[in-house]
Amino acid sequence: MRISVITSNPGKVREYQRYFEGLGIETVHMKVPYDEIQSSDLEEVVRKGMDELKSKGISNFIIDDSGLFIDRLGGFPGVWSAYVQKTIGNEGILKLMADVDPRDAAFKCCIGCNMNGKDIIVTGVCDGVILNEERGNEGFGYDPIFSHDGDRSFAEIPMDEKNNVSHRGEAAKLLLSAMRNIL
């Protein structure tokens, strides 16, 4: 079985390859532009993207959308996480969080999969906190300011450990469980 990971981020493709190892599923990188609707709901963004891709005749694919949701900022940056990362970055988030307590946050990842004519949509969540400063050199994006255990940032832990506890890792576990029912 071959499944296309539709993304502009080759790092996501490598993560999915690790998740599917041993299942007989080959993952390939596919870049196909599609509109990402403006919505505050990750699942709605993924569902609309899947519908557009299927209308183009594409099947057997995975797309995902993820975001960092900070409780005391009303869920900001949420679905706009990528844009916020590009514009104000971690430094901007830390400024917004100055003197904010508690610092609870969650990473969320919604994966949409079309496989054998069936759609699967799952969402994984990793609860944690926003640290007071950037720490670590691993990972990307908000990893240096997010901690799942209140101690180490995602940028300070090995990639395998991060993939096991992260929002995308949790969503991938849910996806694999659902896919076993289709295979």
Q: Give the residue numbers annotated as catalytic, written as ranges.
A: 65
Torsion angle (degrees, nearest 10) of CA 146, 29, 86, 72 = -40
Closest by CA position to 3, among listed 36, 29, 39: 29
Helix 10-20 vs helix 167-180: angle between axes, to the nearest 10 degrees? 50
Q: How many Cα atoms are found within 13 Å in the side-chain-facing hemisphere of 15?
A: 26
Exposed (0-12), middle (13-18) or buried (19+): which is 140, by Cβ within 10 Å?
exposed
Q: How many CB atoms lie within 10 A of CB 11?
A: 10
User: Could you tell me if 108 and 42 are in contact, meaning their C-beta atoms sit under 8 angstroms apart?
Assistant: yes
In this structure, what token pair is assigned to residue 86? 């590009």
